[in-house]
Structure 1
Protein backbone atom coordinates (compact mmCIF):
# COMPACT_ATOMS: atom_id res chain seq x y z
CA UNK A 1 0.00 0.00 0.00
CA UNK A 2 1.16 3.52 -0.82
CA UNK A 3 2.02 5.74 2.16
CA UNK A 4 3.88 8.57 0.41
CA UNK A 5 2.86 10.35 -2.80
CA UNK A 6 5.49 12.57 -4.38
CA UNK A 7 4.50 15.00 -7.12
CA UNK A 8 7.42 16.13 -9.27
CA UNK A 9 7.75 19.65 -10.57
CA UNK A 10 9.61 22.92 -10.20
CA UNK A 11 8.73 25.60 -7.66
CA UNK A 12 7.93 29.14 -8.76
CA UNK A 13 5.13 30.83 -10.64
CA UNK A 14 6.99 30.66 -13.98
CA UNK A 15 6.76 26.84 -13.88
CA UNK A 16 3.31 26.56 -12.31
CA UNK A 17 1.31 25.19 -15.25
CA UNK A 18 4.10 23.74 -17.36
CA UNK A 19 4.14 20.16 -18.63
CA UNK A 20 7.07 19.30 -16.34
CA UNK A 21 4.88 20.20 -13.33
CA UNK A 22 2.29 17.50 -14.02
CA UNK A 23 3.08 15.88 -10.66
CA UNK A 24 2.53 19.16 -8.78
CA UNK A 25 -0.67 19.75 -10.74
CA UNK A 26 -2.05 16.32 -9.77
CA UNK A 27 -1.27 16.82 -6.06
CA UNK A 28 -2.78 20.32 -6.12
CA UNK A 29 -6.01 18.85 -7.52
CA UNK A 30 -5.95 16.11 -4.87
CA UNK A 31 -5.42 18.63 -2.06
CA UNK A 32 -8.14 20.97 -3.33
CA UNK A 33 -10.65 18.13 -3.78
CA UNK A 34 -10.07 17.00 -0.20
CA UNK A 35 -9.88 20.44 1.45
CA UNK A 36 -6.21 19.98 2.34
CA UNK A 37 -3.70 22.81 2.86
CA UNK A 38 -0.01 22.66 1.94
CA UNK A 39 2.56 23.50 4.61
CA UNK A 40 6.11 24.46 3.77
CA UNK A 41 8.71 22.27 5.50
CA UNK A 42 12.32 23.45 5.65
CA UNK A 43 13.22 20.08 7.22
CA UNK A 44 12.11 18.23 4.07
CA UNK A 45 12.66 21.09 1.59
CA UNK A 46 9.11 20.42 0.40
CA UNK A 47 5.53 21.48 0.61
CA UNK A 48 3.94 18.74 2.73
CA UNK A 49 0.51 17.46 3.73
CA UNK A 50 0.00 14.69 6.27
CA UNK A 51 -3.58 13.47 5.89
CA UNK A 52 -6.11 10.71 5.69
CA UNK A 53 -8.02 10.23 2.43
CA UNK A 54 -10.74 7.60 2.25
CA UNK A 55 -9.43 6.21 5.55
CA UNK A 56 -5.87 5.83 4.27
CA UNK A 57 -3.07 7.72 6.05
CA UNK A 58 -0.84 9.47 3.54
CA UNK A 59 2.00 11.93 3.26
CA UNK A 60 1.93 14.14 0.16
CA UNK A 61 5.02 16.09 -0.87
CA UNK A 62 6.02 18.53 -3.56
CA UNK A 63 9.84 18.86 -3.43
CA UNK A 64 10.98 22.49 -3.60
CA UNK A 65 14.53 21.57 -4.62
CA UNK A 66 13.75 21.81 -8.36
CA UNK A 67 13.21 18.75 -10.53
CA UNK A 68 16.83 17.68 -10.92
CA UNK A 69 17.36 17.54 -7.13
CA UNK A 70 14.05 15.91 -6.15
CA UNK A 71 15.83 12.98 -4.52
CA UNK A 72 17.19 15.22 -1.77
CA UNK A 73 13.69 15.96 -0.44
CA UNK A 74 12.36 12.47 -1.09
CA UNK A 75 15.30 10.84 0.69
CA UNK A 76 14.78 13.01 3.78
CA UNK A 77 11.08 12.13 3.98
CA UNK A 78 11.69 8.42 3.39
CA UNK A 79 14.33 8.24 6.15
CA UNK A 80 12.31 10.32 8.65
CA UNK A 81 9.17 8.20 8.27
CA UNK A 82 11.15 4.95 7.84
CA UNK A 83 9.37 4.12 4.61
CA UNK A 84 10.30 1.42 2.11
CA UNK A 85 10.66 2.43 -1.56
CA UNK A 86 7.66 0.24 -2.52
CA UNK A 87 5.46 2.37 -0.22
CA UNK A 88 6.06 5.42 -2.40
CA UNK A 89 4.30 6.64 -5.54
CA UNK A 90 6.02 9.27 -7.67
CA UNK A 91 3.72 11.21 -10.02
CA UNK A 92 5.54 12.72 -12.99
CA UNK A 93 5.29 13.90 -16.58
CA UNK A 94 6.05 11.35 -19.28
CA UNK A 95 7.25 12.24 -22.79
CA UNK A 96 6.75 8.70 -24.09
CA UNK A 97 2.98 8.78 -23.50
CA UNK A 98 0.51 10.92 -25.44
CA UNK A 99 -1.41 13.64 -23.62
CA UNK A 100 -4.23 12.13 -21.58
CA UNK A 101 -2.63 8.69 -21.29
CA UNK A 102 -1.47 7.35 -17.92
CA UNK A 103 0.55 4.35 -16.89
CA UNK A 104 1.20 3.03 -13.40
CA UNK A 105 4.31 0.92 -13.01
CA UNK A 106 6.57 -0.48 -10.35
CA UNK A 107 10.34 -0.41 -10.71
CA UNK A 108 12.27 0.47 -13.83
CA UNK A 109 14.82 3.01 -14.91
CA UNK A 110 14.54 6.76 -15.19
CA UNK A 111 14.21 6.89 -19.02
CA UNK A 112 16.08 10.20 -19.04
CA UNK A 113 13.77 11.86 -16.50
CA UNK A 114 16.12 13.81 -14.23
CA UNK A 115 13.71 13.89 -11.28
CA UNK A 116 13.47 10.10 -11.31
CA UNK A 117 17.21 9.79 -11.85
CA UNK A 118 17.90 11.83 -8.70
CA UNK A 119 15.35 9.91 -6.60
CA UNK A 120 16.87 6.58 -7.69
CA UNK A 121 20.35 7.87 -6.80
CA UNK A 122 19.29 9.09 -3.33
CA UNK A 123 17.34 5.94 -2.47
CA UNK A 124 19.73 3.54 -4.18
CA UNK A 125 16.56 1.78 -5.32
CA UNK A 126 14.26 1.75 -8.34
CA UNK A 127 11.62 -0.31 -6.53
CA UNK A 128 8.93 2.36 -6.21
CA UNK A 129 5.69 3.06 -8.03
CA UNK A 130 5.49 5.69 -10.76
CA UNK A 131 2.32 7.27 -12.08
CA UNK A 132 3.34 8.48 -15.52
CA UNK A 133 1.15 11.31 -16.85
CA UNK A 134 1.49 11.58 -20.61
CA UNK A 135 2.53 14.95 -22.01
CA UNK A 136 3.52 13.82 -25.51
CA UNK A 137 6.68 14.82 -27.33
CA UNK A 138 7.66 18.02 -29.09
CA UNK A 139 7.35 18.09 -32.87
CA UNK A 140 10.24 16.62 -34.83
CA UNK A 141 13.34 18.70 -34.18
CA UNK A 142 11.76 20.47 -31.22
CA UNK A 143 13.81 21.05 -28.07
CA UNK A 144 12.71 18.69 -25.28
CA UNK A 145 13.78 21.03 -22.45
CA UNK A 146 11.83 23.94 -23.95
CA UNK A 147 8.84 21.67 -24.52
CA UNK A 148 8.59 20.29 -20.97
CA UNK A 149 9.16 23.73 -19.43
CA UNK A 150 6.40 25.33 -21.52
CA UNK A 151 2.67 25.34 -20.93
CA UNK A 152 0.50 22.95 -22.94
CA UNK A 153 -2.25 24.23 -25.19
CA UNK A 154 -5.56 25.07 -23.53
CA UNK A 155 -6.91 21.70 -24.73
CA UNK A 156 -3.84 19.93 -23.31
CA UNK A 157 -4.22 21.71 -19.99
CA UNK A 158 -7.93 20.84 -19.80
CA UNK A 159 -7.12 17.22 -20.64
CA UNK A 160 -4.58 17.02 -17.79
CA UNK A 161 -7.19 18.49 -15.41
CA UNK A 162 -9.71 15.82 -16.55
CA UNK A 163 -7.12 13.07 -16.07
CA UNK A 164 -6.46 14.33 -12.53
CA UNK A 165 -10.18 14.32 -11.74
CA UNK A 166 -10.63 10.76 -13.02
CA UNK A 167 -7.65 9.58 -10.98
CA UNK A 168 -8.99 11.27 -7.85
CA UNK A 169 -12.41 9.69 -8.38
CA UNK A 170 -10.74 6.26 -8.41
CA UNK A 171 -8.15 7.23 -5.80
CA UNK A 172 -8.37 3.97 -3.83
CA UNK A 173 -7.05 2.10 -6.87
CA UNK A 174 -4.10 4.45 -6.92
CA UNK A 175 -3.26 4.10 -3.21
CA UNK A 176 -3.70 0.33 -3.42
CA UNK A 177 -1.39 0.37 -6.47
CA UNK A 178 -3.93 -1.57 -8.53
CA UNK A 179 -2.02 -1.40 -11.79
CA UNK A 180 -4.49 -3.47 -13.83
CA UNK A 181 -7.45 -1.21 -13.03
CA UNK A 182 -5.56 2.06 -13.38
CA UNK A 183 -3.78 1.17 -16.60
CA UNK A 184 -7.15 0.27 -18.18
CA UNK A 185 -8.79 3.46 -16.89
CA UNK A 186 -7.68 6.13 -19.33
CA UNK A 187 -8.30 7.53 -21.87
CA UNK A 188 -11.58 5.60 -22.06
CA UNK A 189 -13.00 7.51 -19.07
CA UNK A 190 -12.45 10.96 -20.57
Structure 2
Protein backbone atom coordinates (compact mmCIF):
# COMPACT_ATOMS: atom_id res chain seq x y z
CA UNK A 1 0.00 0.00 0.00
CA UNK A 2 1.08 3.58 -0.60
CA UNK A 3 -0.03 6.65 1.32
CA UNK A 4 -0.49 10.12 -0.13
CA UNK A 5 -1.49 13.26 1.78
CA UNK A 6 -4.51 15.39 1.02
CA UNK A 7 -3.58 18.99 0.22
CA UNK A 8 -6.68 20.20 2.02
CA UNK A 9 -6.61 18.33 5.31
CA UNK A 10 -3.17 16.75 5.49
CA UNK A 11 -4.81 13.37 6.05
CA UNK A 12 -3.24 10.23 4.57
CA UNK A 13 -5.18 8.67 1.69
CA UNK A 14 -4.57 4.95 1.19
CA UNK A 15 -4.27 3.82 -2.43
CA UNK A 16 -3.58 0.53 -4.18
CA UNK A 17 -0.32 0.18 -6.15
CA UNK A 18 -0.84 1.36 -9.74
CA UNK A 19 -0.83 -0.81 -12.86
CA UNK A 20 1.50 -0.23 -15.80
CA UNK A 21 0.39 -1.54 -19.21
CA UNK A 22 3.23 -1.42 -21.73
CA UNK A 23 3.03 -1.93 -25.48
CA UNK A 24 6.32 -2.68 -27.21
CA UNK A 25 7.15 -1.30 -30.65
CA UNK A 26 9.25 1.12 -32.66
CA UNK A 27 8.49 4.86 -33.00
CA UNK A 28 7.93 6.55 -36.34
CA UNK A 29 5.27 6.39 -39.07
CA UNK A 30 7.24 3.82 -41.08
CA UNK A 31 6.67 1.27 -38.29
CA UNK A 32 3.07 2.10 -37.36
CA UNK A 33 1.29 -0.80 -39.06
CA UNK A 34 4.09 -3.37 -38.86
CA UNK A 35 3.86 -6.76 -37.17
CA UNK A 36 6.58 -5.83 -34.67
CA UNK A 37 4.40 -2.93 -33.47
CA UNK A 38 1.31 -4.87 -32.47
CA UNK A 39 2.01 -3.96 -28.83
CA UNK A 40 1.74 -0.27 -29.74
CA UNK A 41 -1.51 -1.00 -31.60
CA UNK A 42 -3.03 -2.60 -28.51
CA UNK A 43 -2.12 0.34 -26.27
CA UNK A 44 -3.48 2.80 -28.85
CA UNK A 45 -6.77 0.88 -28.81
CA UNK A 46 -6.93 0.86 -25.00
CA UNK A 47 -6.44 4.63 -25.00
CA UNK A 48 -9.17 5.09 -27.61
CA UNK A 49 -11.72 2.67 -26.13
CA UNK A 50 -11.01 3.07 -22.40
CA UNK A 51 -12.50 0.81 -19.74
CA UNK A 52 -15.95 1.15 -18.13
CA UNK A 53 -15.89 4.45 -16.23
CA UNK A 54 -12.16 4.76 -16.97
CA UNK A 55 -11.34 7.28 -19.70
CA UNK A 56 -7.64 7.76 -20.32
CA UNK A 57 -5.82 11.05 -20.73
CA UNK A 58 -4.18 11.85 -24.05
CA UNK A 59 -0.61 10.71 -24.57
CA UNK A 60 2.14 12.94 -23.24
CA UNK A 61 5.88 12.63 -23.76
CA UNK A 62 7.83 11.57 -20.70
CA UNK A 63 9.91 8.66 -19.37
CA UNK A 64 11.43 8.31 -22.87
CA UNK A 65 8.02 7.33 -24.19
CA UNK A 66 4.38 8.27 -24.63
CA UNK A 67 2.30 7.76 -21.50
CA UNK A 68 -1.33 8.10 -20.48
CA UNK A 69 -3.23 7.54 -17.26
CA UNK A 70 -6.68 6.67 -16.04
CA UNK A 71 -8.36 5.35 -12.90
CA UNK A 72 -10.13 2.00 -12.69
CA UNK A 73 -11.97 1.11 -9.47
CA UNK A 74 -9.98 3.75 -7.55
CA UNK A 75 -6.71 2.33 -8.85
CA UNK A 76 -4.38 4.31 -11.11
CA UNK A 77 -3.69 2.71 -14.52
CA UNK A 78 -0.77 3.88 -16.65
CA UNK A 79 -0.25 3.19 -20.35
CA UNK A 80 3.20 3.38 -21.93
CA UNK A 81 4.66 3.22 -25.44
CA UNK A 82 8.48 3.44 -25.21
CA UNK A 83 10.01 5.72 -27.86
CA UNK A 84 13.52 4.31 -27.42
CA UNK A 85 13.22 1.80 -30.26
CA UNK A 86 12.61 -1.82 -29.40
CA UNK A 87 16.11 -2.78 -28.25
CA UNK A 88 16.14 -0.10 -25.51
CA UNK A 89 12.53 -0.43 -24.30
CA UNK A 90 13.66 -1.13 -20.75
CA UNK A 91 15.04 2.42 -20.38
CA UNK A 92 11.50 3.76 -20.61
CA UNK A 93 9.73 0.99 -18.69
CA UNK A 94 12.22 1.11 -15.83
CA UNK A 95 12.02 4.90 -15.51
CA UNK A 96 8.23 4.93 -15.28
CA UNK A 97 8.10 1.93 -12.95
CA UNK A 98 10.50 3.54 -10.49
CA UNK A 99 8.84 6.96 -10.57
CA UNK A 100 5.36 5.62 -9.82
CA UNK A 101 6.58 2.76 -7.60
CA UNK A 102 4.80 0.11 -9.66
CA UNK A 103 5.27 -3.43 -8.35
CA UNK A 104 6.28 -6.15 -10.82
CA UNK A 105 3.04 -8.08 -10.35
CA UNK A 106 1.17 -5.02 -11.67
CA UNK A 107 3.17 -4.70 -14.90
CA UNK A 108 1.84 -6.18 -18.15
CA UNK A 109 4.05 -6.00 -21.24
CA UNK A 110 2.22 -6.60 -24.53
CA UNK A 111 4.37 -7.75 -27.45
CA UNK A 112 4.54 -9.65 -30.72
CA UNK A 113 5.64 -13.29 -30.83
CA UNK A 114 7.04 -15.03 -33.92
CA UNK A 115 6.64 -18.49 -32.43
CA UNK A 116 2.84 -18.28 -32.15
CA UNK A 117 0.38 -18.47 -35.06
CA UNK A 118 -1.22 -15.19 -36.07
CA UNK A 119 -3.79 -14.10 -33.49
CA UNK A 120 -2.83 -16.69 -30.87
CA UNK A 121 -2.38 -15.41 -27.34
CA UNK A 122 -0.40 -16.50 -24.30
CA UNK A 123 -0.32 -14.91 -20.85
CA UNK A 124 2.49 -15.68 -18.45
CA UNK A 125 4.51 -14.22 -15.63
CA UNK A 126 8.29 -14.39 -15.85
CA UNK A 127 10.10 -16.84 -18.08
CA UNK A 128 12.50 -16.36 -20.96
CA UNK A 129 12.58 -13.62 -23.56
CA UNK A 130 12.23 -15.90 -26.58
CA UNK A 131 14.76 -13.86 -28.53
CA UNK A 132 12.61 -10.71 -28.26
CA UNK A 133 14.94 -7.74 -27.79
CA UNK A 134 12.23 -5.56 -26.27
CA UNK A 135 11.63 -8.12 -23.53
CA UNK A 136 15.36 -8.62 -23.07
CA UNK A 137 15.88 -4.90 -22.48
CA UNK A 138 12.87 -4.68 -20.15
CA UNK A 139 14.10 -7.61 -18.07
CA UNK A 140 17.57 -6.06 -17.80
CA UNK A 141 16.03 -2.92 -16.29
CA UNK A 142 13.25 -4.22 -14.03
CA UNK A 143 13.89 -7.92 -13.47
CA UNK A 144 12.02 -10.92 -14.82
CA UNK A 145 8.95 -11.31 -12.63
CA UNK A 146 6.42 -9.26 -14.63
CA UNK A 147 3.45 -10.30 -16.77
CA UNK A 148 3.66 -10.68 -20.55
CA UNK A 149 0.85 -10.93 -23.08
CA UNK A 150 2.29 -12.62 -26.16
CA UNK A 151 0.48 -11.94 -29.44
CA UNK A 152 1.20 -14.35 -32.27
CA UNK A 153 2.23 -12.80 -35.58
CA UNK A 154 3.27 -16.04 -37.28
CA UNK A 155 6.67 -16.90 -38.78
CA UNK A 156 7.88 -16.45 -42.37
CA UNK A 157 9.35 -19.96 -42.28
CA UNK A 158 12.87 -18.89 -43.22
CA UNK A 159 15.21 -17.42 -40.63
CA UNK A 160 16.76 -14.94 -43.06
CA UNK A 161 13.33 -13.44 -43.73
CA UNK A 162 12.46 -12.74 -40.08
CA UNK A 163 13.63 -9.11 -39.98
CA UNK A 164 11.83 -7.95 -43.15
CA UNK A 165 8.79 -9.97 -42.08
CA UNK A 166 8.37 -8.37 -38.63
CA UNK A 167 9.04 -4.90 -40.07
CA UNK A 168 6.42 -5.25 -42.81
CA UNK A 169 2.70 -4.43 -42.47
CA UNK A 170 -0.02 -6.99 -41.86
CA UNK A 171 -1.90 -8.08 -44.97
CA UNK A 172 -5.45 -6.80 -45.39
CA UNK A 173 -6.99 -10.01 -44.00
CA UNK A 174 -4.46 -10.18 -41.16
CA UNK A 175 -5.21 -6.57 -40.24
CA UNK A 176 -8.90 -7.43 -39.75
CA UNK A 177 -7.98 -10.09 -37.19
CA UNK A 178 -5.43 -7.85 -35.46
CA UNK A 179 -7.93 -4.99 -35.19
CA UNK A 180 -10.49 -7.32 -33.57
CA UNK A 181 -7.79 -8.69 -31.27
CA UNK A 182 -6.81 -5.20 -30.08
CA UNK A 183 -10.45 -4.31 -29.40
CA UNK A 184 -11.10 -7.53 -27.46
CA UNK A 185 -7.97 -7.10 -25.35
CA UNK A 186 -9.12 -3.59 -24.45
CA UNK A 187 -12.63 -4.85 -23.67
CA UNK A 188 -11.56 -7.68 -21.37
CA UNK A 189 -8.48 -6.18 -19.68
CA UNK A 190 -10.53 -5.17 -16.61
CA UNK A 191 -10.64 -8.90 -15.78
CA UNK A 192 -6.84 -8.91 -15.65
CA UNK A 193 -6.83 -5.81 -13.46
CA UNK A 194 -9.29 -7.47 -11.08
CA UNK A 195 -6.93 -10.43 -10.68
CA UNK A 196 -9.01 -12.79 -12.85
CA UNK A 197 -6.13 -13.57 -15.16
CA UNK A 198 -7.21 -17.05 -16.29
CA UNK A 199 -10.73 -15.83 -17.03
CA UNK A 200 -9.27 -12.85 -18.92
CA UNK A 201 -7.28 -15.10 -21.26
CA UNK A 202 -10.05 -17.68 -21.72
CA UNK A 203 -12.67 -15.04 -22.48
CA UNK A 204 -10.32 -13.31 -24.88
CA UNK A 205 -9.49 -16.50 -26.76
CA UNK A 206 -13.15 -17.49 -27.07
CA UNK A 207 -14.11 -14.06 -28.41
CA UNK A 208 -11.54 -14.32 -31.22
CA UNK A 209 -12.57 -17.74 -32.56
CA UNK A 210 -14.98 -16.31 -35.18
CA UNK A 211 -12.09 -14.33 -36.68
CA UNK A 212 -9.73 -17.31 -36.79
CA UNK A 213 -11.97 -19.79 -38.61
What TM-score do you get using the length of structure 1 for normalisation? Answer: 0.91
Within 1, Cα distance between the matches of 2:197 and 2:114?
Answer: 20
Within 2, Cα distance between the matches of 1:5 and 1:56?
Answer: 13
Question: After TM superposition, where is structure 1 displaced by more than 6 Å over at least 4 residues in a row?
Answer: none
In structure 1, what is the equivalent of residue 171 of structure 2?
153
Q: Measured at CA, do residues 81 and 2 of structure 1 come closer, stay the same or move farther in structure 2, by a change above 3 Å?
A: closer
Contact 2:18 2:76 in 1 (8 A): no
Stretch moving more, 100-109 or 138-147 = 138-147
Aligned pair count reads 187
1:156, CA displacement in angstroms? 1.0
* SS in structure 1 at match of 2:122: strand
Is 2:86 the counterpart of 1:45?
Answer: no
Within 2, Cα distance between the matches of 1:119 and 1:141?
Answer: 24
Contact 2:18 2:100 in 1 (8 A): no
Larger Rg: 2
Within 2, Cα distance between the matches of 1:100 and 1:163?
Answer: 7
What TM-score do you get using the length of structure 2 for normalisation? Answer: 0.82
Alignment of 1:32-181 (within 5 A): 32-34=48-50, 36=56, 37-41=58-62, 44-53=63-72, 55-123=74-142, 125-140=143-158, 143-181=161-199
Aligned-residue CA RMSD (Å): 1.7
The runs of 5 or more residues in structure 2 that have no matched partner are 1-16, 209-213
1:39, CA displacement in angstroms? 1.0
The runs of 5 or more residues in structure 1 that have no matched partner are none
Alignment of 1:21-36 (within 5 A): 21-34=37-50, 36=56
* SS in structure 2 at match of 1:138: coil
